[in-house]
Chain A
């Protein structure tokens, strides 16, 4: 359990800047997910915290102790690698216990701790096997065990689930979150998968091109994306983004001249904006006052629970979530309504969010009764 604070942390290779003056405070026991596309510097950030990568500027402190010049082993971090990085010639038990062996922990104690960790991860029957004899999920658990046995203050995960198949990934995701709830160590998890980020994180750090775009809870990111990049990165399918200019009366005019109503804003006439709306917020059917908003349907993805209608709206790609029944007869055009209170506005130049009166709208709270959980 440890606070981590990053102050103006930067990394550059020669003239290429990978991470730029990054500030971040991570609270003790928090599960932070660093989310971003490949090459955004998120792995570099993690490796700088681990001490595998030197920092080019700034300061990293773990538990108020500046660790910039400390070796990885002195920082109290444990790391789970993308390809697990298990020692191929050692048994599962030796892999898990190697850090204790290096630290000179006596054999009997080592054995006891290995068995305890193995039991937590359901590896107890596999202790004598070699990594080559394990399945992907089992290797993943060994890598976790190797990190856990040191009882670290900080867990670092470098895309640990990306080599697993879809089903196992979901399962391991749940396991990791359960483990975090139980151990309550500070965790930093790097991924490019926004579903992983949304499901695991207490807070998500969205990175793009070496900079932090937004730090917030998963629902913050969902409800109030701070930039066009976050809006387009978080969510599946990603938020629809359509260019528009502001008319004299404050309405938006799309590229093809269609007018749409926008939430209350303070933008000048002719200002260029980007209107964002999530696929599931779009209503199918013409609006009372504006029947001209028509989606040119290109193809339909049938997911079973819903259908995603892909098409073009005023020259931009656009996706709408439709009821599964729509899958049967595919129309060529689909009249749409964009609900005013569900629209997000972004500056067309720098991509930052423009606050509107709709910005305060959160997901509607649903009243539910609290019921005691049945005994398991």
Chain B
């Protein structure tokens, strides 16, 4: 299509540029603040030209908040969540799209409804389960009197305890199930022609073979998109890691940032806080830049 709309072109460019400025300004401010010393960063207004203490501030932030191990934790956490979500979403969508079983629609809608229950809403029960994984089962055993029965027969009392606090599993597992991912995969799987499924059947491939050999390679753009989004989402999680990790050994970089934020009445070291922020957001920037091509393709339907 050939269009000649010089006025519209100009307007759209202006809008784009305004949007660009709006989104880049906070980053620029963070970077500039991170390059000043304590005095300069607290001037009102703060000087808008970079100062000369950038590397020094980075170093201070790194050592003060012990960011090295925390970044490793963050990578394990965000990577685990992203991988888990991709796998679970693909498998659930596979079941829902390609198999006919009773209650299929009901299960799909049940998954879909969990969109209305974000982590923040169900944080208390989720925490309770993470703190004591078998609690629901034990309650069932106690309430039904089964436990007394087992005790009288076997002579031992069942006292299962298994907590996930302060562990990677506790960080990752409660976050891996996601309706968004299942939905994304479902929409993609629905575009796979029936003939392809049938061809695989004729070739003798069972469901698992078909999933691994055909569906997964075909959905690699979806994998990239979902993994990117979920990695960023998990990386930026604050509430859950804060709750589930009480020991610094398992804390993530994002929760540890608060170590750098000056207390009321303390030394206002905003330059160090900003330097720490820069360090913590760098990996997400790298991921976005590296995955952008795949991730856009995965979101704008199928490649031809």
**Bound complex: CA of A225 vs CA of B223, how far in Å?**
57
Q: Which residues of A contact B202 (CB under 8 A)?
A: 50, 52, 72-73, 77-79, 99
Q: Which residues of A contact B204 (CB under 8 A)?
A: 72-73, 99, 102-103
**Bound complex: CA of A88 vs CA of B193, how far in Å?**
11
Of A52, A82, A89, the residue contacting B201 (CB under 8 A) is: A52
* Residue A222 CB within 8 A of the other chain: no
* Residue B198 CB within 8 A of the other chain: yes
Of B199, B205, B209, B217, the residue contacting A81 (CB under 8 A) is: B199
* Contacts known (A73-B204, A103-B204); A85 close to B209, Cβ less than 8 A: no
**Bound complex: CA of A332 vs CA of B71, how far in Å?**
92
Q: Which residue of B lies closest to A94 (CB)?
A: B213
**Bound complex: CA of A85 vs CA of B204, how far in Å?**
15
**Contact status B214-A87, CB under 8 Å:** yes
The smallest C-beta distance from B268 to any residue of chain A, in angstroms, reads: 56
* B window 177-215: CB within 8 A of A: 193, 195-196, 198-205, 209, 213-214
**Contact status B193-A98, CB under 8 Å:** no
Q: Which residues of A contact B213 (CB under 8 A)?
A: 87, 98
Most A C-beta atoms less than 10 A away, residue of B204, B214, B217:
B204
* Residue B111 CB within 8 A of the other chain: no
* Residue A42 CB within 8 A of the other chain: no
* Residue A83 CB within 8 A of the other chain: yes
**Contact status A99-B198, CB under 8 Å:** no
How many residues of chain A are within 8 Å of chain B by beta carbon?
24
**Contact status B193-A72, CB under 8 Å:** no
**Contact status A85-B218, CB under 8 Å:** no
**Contact status A82-B203, CB under 8 Å:** no
**Contact status A102-B203, CB under 8 Å:** yes
Q: Which residues of A contact B214 (CB under 8 A)?
A: 87, 89
* Residue A146 CB within 8 A of the other chain: yes
Q: Which residue of B lies closest to A53 (CB)?
A: B198
**Contact status B203-A73, CB under 8 Å:** yes
**Contact status B195-A98, CB under 8 Å:** no
* Contacts known (A81-B195, A85-B196, A89-B218); A99 close to B203, Cβ less than 8 A: yes
Of B195, B205, B304, the residue contacting A102 (CB under 8 A) is: B205
Of A52, A88, A146, the residue contacting B203 (CB under 8 A) is: A146
Of B200, B209, B218, the residue contacting A88 (CB under 8 A) is: B218
B83-117 vs A, Cβ < 8 Å mask (1 yes, 0 no): 00000000000000000000000000000000000
Q: Which residue of A lies closest to B204 (CB)?
A: A73
**Bound complex: CA of A87 vs CA of B200, how far in Å?**
9
A82-98 vs B, Cβ < 8 Å mask (1 yes, 0 no): 11011111000000001
* A window 46-102: CB within 8 A of B: 47, 50-52, 71-73, 77-79, 81-83, 85-89, 98-99, 102
**Bound complex: CA of A71 vs CA of B198, how far in Å?**
12
The smallest C-beta distance from A139 to any residue of chain B, in angstroms, reads: 13
**Contact status B195-A83, CB under 8 Å:** yes
Of B198, B203, B217, the residue contacting A98 (CB under 8 A) is: B203
* B window 199-251: CB within 8 A of A: 199-205, 209, 213-214, 217-218
The smallest C-beta distance from A86 to any residue of chain B, in angstroms, reads: 8
**Bound complex: CA of A169 vs CA of B304, how far in Å?**
25
Q: Which residues of B contact A103 (CB under 8 A)?
A: 204
Q: Which residues of A contact B200 (CB under 8 A)?
A: 87, 98
Most A C-beta atoms less than 10 A away, residue of B201, B202, B209:
B202
**Bound complex: CA of A103 vs CA of B203, how far in Å?**
9
**11 A-B contacts, Cβ less than 8 Å apart?**
A52-B198, A52-B202, A72-B202, A81-B198, A85-B198, A87-B196, A87-B214, A98-B200, A102-B203, A102-B209, A103-B204
Apart from A73-B202, A87-B214, what are 13 other A-B pairs with CB-CB below 8 Å? Answer: A52-B198, A52-B202, A71-B201, A72-B202, A77-B202, A78-B202, A79-B199, A81-B199, A82-B195, A83-B195, A98-B213, A132-B304, A146-B203
